[in-house]
Amino acid sequence: MNLRLLAMLMGMAALLFTVGCDDDDNDTPFMAPNVTAPSAVQNVQSGETGLSVTFDVSFDSELTATYSATGSGVTISNASGDVSGSTVTINYDAGTTAGAASINLTVTDSEGQSDDATAVISIGADPDVIRKTGEISGDETWTSDKTYILGGRVTVVDGVTLTIEPGTVIKGEAGTGANATALLVARGGTLLAEGRADAPIIFTSVADEITPEQVASGDFASPNLDPDINGLWGGVIVLGNAPISASNDNDEDVSEVQIEGIPTSDTNGLYGGDDATDNSGVLSHISIRHGGANIGAGNEINGLSLGGVGNGTTINNIEIVANQDDGIEWFGGTVNVDNAVVWNVGDDGIDTDQSWDGTLNNFVVVTPTGHCFELDGPEGTYEAGHTITNGTIVSSANGRVSEDLINVDDNSIVDLVNLYFTGIVEGQRINRVTAAGVTFNNILFDVPAGEVAEYVNGAVPAGVMAGSTPQADVSTLGWTWAGQAGGLDGL
C-alpha cells in the first residue's frame, strides 16, 4: 500500500468517527417528566368543600405536557388539563365518609413519557355533623349547632326520649326497601321535637344543602332542591298504644299491626293498643321534605305516619313538602293535629285509615297528585270517626293536578267541616256522597253555582256549595317553606 492510499483511508476513518459522534449527540433522549406529591398527609373534614392539593412537576422545556388526576374518597373538579409551569393544583371536595383518601396525578409529555405521584389525604369526621344509625337506647338531645345524618332506620325505642332543639337540621341518607331511611318512634318511645316559628326543625335529604346557620338566619328554603323533588329518603314515623280498627287475613280483629315501611322482623314497627290517652311526645314547627323512599311494589313511606298515636301526644305546625307518597297518614289512634301544610306530594294529601278518632284543624293542602283526601273506613269491628275542619285545598296549580277532591269508602266515618277547594279542573270530584258515616258541612267549591254538580259523583249534598272564601287561617303558617316561597299567597 502506498503512502497516498494510506492517508486517504485514515482521512475517511476520521470523517466516519466525527459523523458517528454527531449522531450520538442527536440521539440524546428528552428528560422524562417528574411528579412529586406533598410529603405531608393533608388533613380535612368530611364534607368539606373548596379544597386543593399542589404537586411539583418538571419536564423537558422543549416539550409540552398534560395531566390527569383520579381520586379515592374525594370528588375532583379539574381532573385533566395542560401543564403550565412547575406545579399542578388539583381542586377537590372531601367525601362524607371519614378515613383515608388520596389523589393520584399523572403527567404525560408530548413524547409519551409519563410519571405519577399520589397525595395522601386524611378525612376526619366533621364535629358538627353526627351520623346516627340503629336504635337510640338511651335519652338523647340533638342540638341546633349540629347537623344529624340518619343512616338507615333510626329508632327511638320503648322507654327512651329523643329531644330535638329548635332550628336543628336532620338529613336522611338514600335507601330503599328494608334499608329505607326513617326516624321511627316506637311504642313507648318519646319524641320531644319542639321547633318554633323562627326556628323550625327541618327533616330533609342529605342532598339538601340547607344548614343550621341558614335556618338561624330565618331562611327555611332548600338552597339547591326544588319543592317538588321527592323520594330522596324515607320520612318520620310515630307509633303508639291507642286503639285501631284492624283485622287479620281471617277477618278477625287484631289490636296491633305492623306499620307500612318497617320489616315485620322489627317489632319496633308494631302499633295499636287500648290507651286512647297514650303520649308519644310533642311535634311542633317541623318541616319534612323530599321523602317517600320506595319500600317495594309501589309502596312508599309517608311524610308523617301516625300509627295508633294517642291524644296525649301534641302535634301542631307541621309541613310536608314533596313527599313521594302521602303527606300525613293516620292509622287509627286518637291524636289531634293543628296547623298543617301539605305541599306538592306525590300521592294523597291527607290519608286516614283504621278508624282514626281525632281532629285535623286549620290546614292547607296544595297540589297533591293523588287524592286531596283519601278517607278509608274501619278495617275491623271497632268503629270510630274523625273530623277534618277549617281547610283550604288547591287541587291544581302550575301544571300539577290532583286525581280527585275527596275519596271515601262506603264505610268511612268522617265529618268534613268548613273546607274550601280552589283550582278545581274537569274530572276532579267527590267520588262518593252516599256513605252513611260521612257528613258535609260548608264545603265550598270555587266554581260557578250552576257547575257544582259537575264535581260531585251523585246528588250534591246540602253542605256542598259554590263559594270563594278560604277556610284556613294561613297567618299561622307563614313560617313554612311554602309560606316563604309564596305558595300560600292568596289563600
Tens digits of per-residue pLDDT, 272-301?
999 999 999 999 999 999 999 887 655 678
Give the Cβ contact number of residue 140 at 10 Å: 14
CA–CA dist 182, 9 (Å, integer): 95
- 129-484 adopts what CATH topology? Pectate Lyase C-like (2.160.20)
Average pLDDT of the residues in 16-20: 44
Separation in Å, CA 132 to CA 24, 151, 156, 163, 304: 69, 6, 11, 14, 20
Q: How confident is the model at residue 335 (pLDDT cuts 50, 70, 90)?
A: very high
- Name the band, by pLDDT with cuts 50, 70 and 90, for residue 15: very low
pLDDT at 175: 82
Q: What are phi and psi of 262, to 5 degrees?
A: -115, 125
pLDDT > 60? residue 42:
yes
Domain boundaries, the chain: 34-124, 129-484
Span of 122-131, 193-202, 331-340, 434-443 with lowest mean pLDDT: 122-131
| E strands, 272-385, in order | 281-289, 294-296, 299-300, 304-307, 314-321, 328-331, 337-343, 350-353, 359-366, 371-375
pLDDT of residue 56: 97
List phi, psi (to 5°) of 104.
-105, 130
Rounded CA-CA distance 243/356 in Å is: 8
d(CA 378, CA 296): 25
CB 443 within 8 A of CB 466: no
Asked if pLDDT for residue 7 goes beyond 60, the answer is no
Q: pLDDT (tens digit, 9 = 90+) per residue, 83-102?
A: 999 999 999 999 988 899 99
Task: Take residue 368 and report the three cell numbers written for it.
Answer: 297533591
Cβ neighbours around 355 below 10 Å, total: 28
Q: What angle do CA 188, 193, 194 make, to 5 degrees?
A: 130
pLDDT digits (tens, 9 = 90+) for 214-226: 999 999 999 999 9
Give the integer Cα–Cα distance in Å for 476 and 232: 28
Of 12-16, 173-177, 399-403, least confident by mean pLDDT is 12-16
pLDDT above 50: residue 252 = yes
- Strands of 233-280, DSSP E: 235-239, 246-247, 253-254, 257-258, 270-271
- Is residue 383 within 8 A of residue 360, CB to CB? The reply is no
Which among 211, 217, 183 is positioned nearest to 199, based on CA atoms? 217
How confident is the model at residue 26, as a pLDDT? 46
pLDDT over 90 (residue 163): yes
Q: Considering the chain, what is the average pLDDT of its residues?
A: 92
- Start-to-end CA distance of the chain, whole Å, equals 121
Residue 401 in grid coordinates: 293536578
CA 93, 97, 101, 103 torsion-angle sign? negative
Q: Is the pTM of this model over 0.85?
A: no
Which of 430, 404, 396 is closest to 416 using CA atoms?
430
Per-residue pLDDT band at 168 (split at 50, 70, 90): very high
Is the CB of residue 345 less than 8 Å from the CB of residue 323? yes
> Is the CB of residue 221 less than 8 Å from the CB of residue 274?
no
Topology of domain 34-124 in CATH is Immunoglobulin-like (2.60.40)
Pairing state between β 246-247 and 190-194: unpaired
Mean pLDDT of 365-388: 97
Are residues 375 and 396 in contact, defined by beta-carbon separation less than 8 angstroms?
no
Tally the residues of the chain.
491
When pLDDT is averaged across residues 373-400 and rounded to a whole number, the result is 97
Cα 222 to Cα 232: distance, rounded to the nearest angstrom:
14
